[in-house]
Structure 1
Amino acid sequence: MTTKRPTEKELLDGLDAHTAHADELADPLQQELTPLERLKGSVKRYDRPTDPVWDEYFDSEGVSDDFMEDREQPKNGRS
């Protein structure tokens, strides 16, 4: 069985300088996408800084005063 391939004229029928866009004719290659566009659809969850969970985190008690007390850092400035 032979398949009829469309001619260039048929493919371009109805397109002009204002209605023809490259993204309608072909899909961009991976190297043509921005890093954010490459991740589109693969990220399942994204916590924005404006989400209430961040308010809870920053308003929480925090660490105690003796946290990392023995980290061997100079006590008075740099040495």
Structure 2
Amino acid sequence: MSAIAQEKHLQDIGEVKEIVGKVIDLRVIPESEAKKVIKKYIREHPGCITSEIIENLNLDPALAVEALNVLEEEGKVRGEEVE
């Protein structure tokens, strides 16, 4: 993952801190399951950003970012810089 993409993921996590306070029950699931639900979400919501994925799937932010990193390394998703 490029330095720019990593910085964007960290920025998204910062934005999620506000969301996490509103979320009552974050889902902590195995990474393999997280990858599946994230991949499905991205197919259904092209152009979505990390914070949307975390919020709408109620995923633990660290788990979501790790799963996204793995999916990107596997070539299954492509992260882009958002302006």
TM category, shorter: under 0.3
| Larger relative contact order, structure 1 or 2 (CA cutoff 8 Å, min sep 6) | 2
- Calculate the TM-score normalised by the size of structure 1: 0.18
- Calculate the TM-score normalised by the size of structure 2: 0.17
